Homo-oligomer: A and B are copies of this chain.
C-alpha cells in the first residue's frame, strides 16, 4: 500500500509514521510506499519507497502533487492550531479550510482521470463543540464552535461527509480528545498545563497548575491517538452511512484525579513539584471546554482509549522516558 501523511512532521504525525514503520503496515496490510509532507520536510524512514518533502497544502498545485502517486490511504493531519488560527484569521482559514478543500478537490480531480477513491482519515477535534454543554456530550450533539479553529474543523467534517457520500473518497473524521501527556517542551497553549503538571514532575522538574483541582477535561494518550488513526484507516465504513465524523473515546478526569494518578505512579515527591498559581484567563478559557463525552458510536466501531489516568501516565513513561520515572 501507498500511504500519504500530510502533517507528518507534527507530534502525532511522527508517531503515526513510526508505528507504520515498526509494524511494516496498517491492519495487517503491508505498506511499501510512504509520501510524507509537512511545512518542514519530515524525516524519511529507511526501507520504504516514496519520499518526504516540505509543502504548503494551500499553495497552488501542491495538493495535486501530493495525490499524483494515488495513495491508498490519505492521513490529513495538517492544521494551524487553535491559538494561531484565532490570532491569524486569514492563515487559519487558508490552511484549515482552503487547504482541506484543495486536498479533497485534488482527490476528486484524480478520480476524474480514472476511478480513484482512497480512504481519507481527517483529524478533527473536540473544538467543534462549544459551551454550554450537557454533562456528557452525546454523538448527536450539535457543533457550535467557539473558535475559528473549531469552525474550520467542523467545516472540514461537513466537506468530508459530502465528498464521501458522493463516492469521491471514503472518509472518516475523528475528533481527537486533548492529547495527554504531550511530549516535548511546555508550550503556551491554554491546555498545556494538563500535560505539564505530569510531564515535568515525572522528570523531576517543577510545573505550574493554573486552575482548580475540580476542572474536568477529556483526554487520550498520543499512543491512543495513533491507534485511532490506524483504526480509522482500515475499518469497514459501511456502518458509518453518511455520518462520517466520530467523537473518539477518551477519559474524563479532573485535575485532582490526574494528580492522584501521578502520586500512584511517581510518588509524593513528584506531586510536590506542582505549584498552584491560579490564572483567571486560563480558568475562563478552560471553563468553555468540553468536560466529558459519551462516545458510544466510536466505541461500538472498535475505537479504544485509556480507561485510567495511571495508564495514560504509564504510556508516557514507556514511550518517552524509556520506562523510567525520575
Contacts and interface: CB of A to CB of B under 8 A. Distances in A.
Given A155-B155, A158-B151, A141 B144 contact: no
Contacts of A89: 166
Nearest to A134: B140
Contacts of A162: 145, 148, 151
A165 interface: yes
Interface in A234-249: 242-243
Contacts of A130: 242-243
Contacts of A142: 139-143
B154 A158 contact: yes
A243 B144 contact: yes
Count chain B CB atoms within 10 A of each CB in A145, A155, A159 and give the residue with the most. Answer: A155
Interface string A29-42: 00000000000000
A312 interface: no
A202 to B, nearest CB: 37
A158 B155 contact: yes
A165 B154 CA distance: 15
A159 B150 CA distance: 11
B140 A158 contact: no
Nearest to A92: B162
Interface of A: 89, 130, 139-146, 148, 151, 154-155, 158-159, 161-162, 165-166, 242-243
Given A142-B142, A144-B243, 18 more contacts: A89-B166, A130-B242, A130-B243, A141-B142, A142-B143, A143-B158, A144-B242, A145-B158, A146-B165, A146-B242, A148-B162, A148-B166, A151-B158, A151-B159, A151-B161, A154-B158, A155-B155, A155-B159
Top 5 nearest A-B pairs by Cβ distance? A151-B162, A142-B142, A140-B142, A155-B155, A151-B158
